[in-house]
Structure 1
Amino acid sequence: MADKHLSTQFDAELTAVSSRVMELGGLVESQIRQAIHALSNFSVEVANEVVANEARVNAMEVEIDHDLSSIIARRQPTARDLRLLIAISKTTANLERAGDEAAKIARMVLSIINSGAPRNLPSLELRVAADLASSLLNKALDAFARLDVHAALDILKEDDAIDREFGGFVRKLITFMMEDPRTISPSLDLLFLAKAIERVGDHAKNIAEFIIYVVKGADVRHTSIENVESVVK
């Protein structure tokens, strides 16, 4: 009976910390959406709001890490439970970094506005890649909540679409810079924005890999998609 009681307590603690991770994920998703809005509309107000909320994201990461350390120290979990706690810790770190990218986008938007950069640069075309990255992060959080390895596999495949958008955007920026040297400085700003958006997709991909690690016990980082498919199936 005592073991059952301890198990119930442990499950409750896991549920609580998982809920906090989902809360953090929701905040980061909001940050990314607002950063994209600020970019699309050159909004100083929204960009400043994103930057101001960065501290909240950082604080939540610290709180979740503290909770995880406490659970591991007291419960000394093994096997899948330990993998889950490790994955939650890594997911939290990736969410915080995705939040950093959102803040970076907001700061770059403010820089572009303050510099009076030409509005004919293809900044709005970043919206496609940004929406893809935001959607991918949302899917990764949903898959993590359900520990759905098949959804995780789909996310790994979708990340390639963001990479293709990034490559196409870089080629377009190069064309702008070659045709008009005055666009070089603002084009470089947009290049950094595009890279930040790509990194959001990378963080979603990392979370998907952690899901497979929890469920299958296999580390699929830095392996081919064919190998990941064989692990999942």
Structure 2
Amino acid sequence: MKKRSLAGNCGIGVFVLALVCVVVAFCAPAWLVSDYRITGAKLERLGLWSHCFRSLNQPNDDRFKRFFVGCRWVYDPFTTGYDEIRGFLMPPFMIATQFFFTLCFLGVVISFILVLIFALCFGPEETRFRILILLIAIVLLHSGLCGGIAVIIFACLGNAEGWMPEHDNNYLGWAFGLAVVGVVMCFIASALFFVEAHIQKKKRKYLQDSQARFELENESKA
């Protein structure tokens, strides 16, 4: 039997796209960006794990004694006063976005290992070949669901009034776009691997039936 069908080969290709999109979106600080034409904007860009500000004053600081400039990890322990605004930087919806997209990221990384085994190590002669394909499909499906929840939450609340300053001048960035594409690719890759599992099941059944007929013919000749 051929090691993979067209669905399996396409599933690997689509998965590679999902992997690149999810990994880049997970790391890139461009989920929300400020309009570059606004020279006096306080926000430059932000991602899941880092924020870049041009000049953000500390919330509830009416005297404007402290401003935050430049890019920092959201859990930066070294910048004075940064821990005091962490509650502002990380509202509940942002923590939920981090949580669900992290699950998506981990699922994609696990799928990468499984896809390598599927592509390089296992073959149809292995008894658990179809189980491996089903496992890849299920993990990718869960990754897509978690990633979908994350991007929906951020799309609804990421640029809402009351969080980042000057929200009218902010818009969802290219990293958010990659996250959406990555989630869609996860669903497509999952569907393709489910199809591949079904094809491998039919191939194995056909091979078993063929072997049974061959044995019966040999017995009848004997």
Settle same-fold status: TM greater than 0.5: no
Structure holding more strand per residue: 2
Q: Name the TM-score, length of structure 2 as normaliser.
A: 0.42
Higher relative contact order (CA 8 A, sep 6+): 2
Structure holding more helix per residue: 1
Q: Which has the larger radius of gyration?
A: 2
